[in-house]
Structure 1
Amino acid sequence: MDANGEELAPAVRSILAAARDRAGGEERLSVDARSFPAAVADAEAEGRVPVIAEVKPTSPTTDGRRDDEPVDLARAMVDGGATAISVLTEPDHFGGTPESLARIREAVDVPVLRKDFIVQESQLDLVASDLILLIARFVDDLDALVTAAEERGFQPLVEVHTREELDRALEAGADLIGVNNRDLAQLEVDLDTFETIAPHVPDDVTLIAESGIGSAADVRRMREAGADALLIGSAIMDGDVTENVRRFTTA
């Protein structure tokens, strides 16, 4: 079950159980983060749709695995116009590693998001990144974890799926919010989720649409609904990542 006592899909339960057992870093990090809102503004000024392109070797919701060198993938995504790079560091279900993130962040000049299932403060200290994902559904004390992330210099991106989670994120002071179109109970994707929640997000929050974006039409739909940026994984990893990113950033 999640922090709200709700049932999760079996794959998600397995991911969360592993996350609760995973050790954190041994020393408290201090991060000099690259500004994601500034990167979004730069992309807009240059006429690009702001896209966070995701380096995701595999996942429970996709078939197969991609074993390209992660740094090469990230550089290719930046060449296609990616505003930021998301890197999975969850090892058991997504094939990610903190080492890959560290090498990618050294190799690119755009903000890098650490995407993982962080449930306790010490796990913030595993590897430096510019943004760090905090999933409201999985975190018992969201206020404390947002504060702990900010104290280290991270820009916390708080992921929500419901109005109740959005309210928790806003109460915790989040100014970067991602709406996940995927329901973690059934693993079903519905772009209506973003369209339902977006009108309730304050204008001074940077709003990101996540999951289920697979076409230029999806990009336009999310942008019209209020997305400042989009996080796209599988649709970019499937094929030529540079061309795929370019297709979305010019939609």
Structure 2
Amino acid sequence: MDDGTAVESSDLAPAVASILADARERSVSGERVSVRPRSLPDRLDAVGNDRVPVIAEVKPTSPTTDGTRTDDPVALAQRMVSGGAAALSVLTEPDHFGGSTETLARIRSAVDVPVLRKDFIVREAQLDAVEADVVLLIARFVDNLPKLLAAARDRGFQVLVEVHTESELDRAIDAGARIIGINNRDLARLEVALETFERLSPSVPDSVTLIAESGITTPADAARMRRAGADGLLIGSAIMDGDVETNTQRLTTRA
């Protein structure tokens, strides 16, 4: 049994609390999915010797950025892959990030790299919204992490378990997470500190694929996270703000 307890909304920044409240209410109707995933760890390993292994994020908008991208998300995704992205992350949260499960399905059909579904999944039924190669579970928001992790794996998903604190990292490791993302953004204050990854990464077992998330905006930041042990980097705003292919090339090129 998972000893962790999902965070109370009062502990979060108002924008994040609103997103979580909507996620808890969101229903999914449909058949149980069954996925044959493209391997994210294998893909990150395959590109890691030649370029920085980046998971580029298709993010039309977010509470922490200004403006909205109205470009065709499939075209954006293809240009990210052309720019060297090892994998893609696609927002499917509709109300605050402008995402959709339909967009993810279109993107996954158009590219040959692993695709992560990034959303606020808190119940098993929400796993059945769309097929993806990887799903995100945010440890802070999940009451019973081992149960939801097992439910995702039963459907064939690989699972990226996101953490921000030592206790969340312990929960993820105890639950048997094989892919862990350390989020440099504190969801209580929306502040970003790359030191978060550097502080927590030494406690992650070598057998785990480790992803650095948030606050990576320059090649120097990317190199810093790689030195601290990141097997991959999840980058959103720094790629979406401008020409996505050029930005992806800049951040995937080894210094």
Q: Deviations over 1:2-34 (max 9, x none)?
A: 814461000000000000010124211000000
In structure 2, which of residues 162, 165, 171 is the aligned counterpart of residue 162 of structure 1? 165
What is the TM-score normalised by the length of structure 1? 0.98
In structure 1, which of residues 36, 40, 43 is the aligned counterpart of residue 40 of structure 2? 36
Query: Secondary structure at 1:119's aligned position in 2?
Result: coil
1:119 aligns with 2:122: yes
Aligned amino acid, residue 139 of structure 2: A
Equivalent in the alignment of 1:243 = 246
In structure 2, which of residues 129, 133, 138 is the aligned counterpart of residue 130 of structure 1? 133
Aligned amino acid, residue 107 of structure 1: A
Q: Among all aligned residue pairs of Structure 1 and Structure 2, give the percentage whose two residues are the same amino acid.
A: 67
Q: Deviations over 1:61-80 (max 9, x none)?
A: 00000010010000000000
- Long gaps (5+) in structure 2: none
How does 1:46-125 map onto structure 2 within 5 Å?
A: 47-125=50-128
The whole-number CA distance in structure 2 between the counterparts of 1:124 and 1:50 is 26
Equivalent in the alignment of 1:201 = 204
Query: Secondary structure at 1:54's aligned position in 2?
Result: strand
Equivalent in the alignment of 1:210 = 213
- Long gaps (5+) in structure 1: none
Query: Secondary structure at 2:251's aligned position in 1?
Result: helix
Are the aligned partners of 1:25 and 1:124 in contact in 2 as well (CA < 8 Å)?
A: no
Equivalent in the alignment of 2:183 = 180
The whole-number CA distance in structure 2 between the counterparts of 1:200 and 1:42 is 24
The whole-number CA distance in structure 1 between the counterparts of 2:14 and 2:99 is 20
Q: Deviations over 1:32-59 (max 9, x none)?
A: 00001110111024x0111000000000
Residue-pair matches, total:
249
Query: Secondary structure at 1:82's aligned position in 2?
Result: coil
Equivalent in the alignment of 1:229 = 232
Are the aligned partners of 1:70 and 1:100 in contact in 2 as well (CA < 8 Å)?
A: yes
Equivalent in the alignment of 2:14 = 10
* Aligned residues: CA RMSD: 0.9
The whole-number CA distance in structure 2 between the counterparts of 1:171 and 1:200 is 12
The whole-number CA distance in structure 2 between the counterparts of 1:121 and 1:139 is 11
The whole-number CA distance in structure 2 between the counterparts of 1:66 and 1:107 is 19
The whole-number CA distance in structure 2 between the counterparts of 1:87 and 1:134 is 14
Query: Secondary structure at 1:66's aligned position in 2?
Result: coil
Structure 1 stretches of 4+ with a deviation exceeding 3 A read none
Are the aligned partners of 1:25 and 1:127 in contact in 2 as well (CA < 8 Å)?
A: no
Are the aligned partners of 2:45 and 2:231 in contact in 1 as well (CA < 8 Å)?
A: no
Are the aligned partners of 1:133 and 1:157 in contact in 2 as well (CA < 8 Å)?
A: yes
Equivalent in the alignment of 1:20 = 24
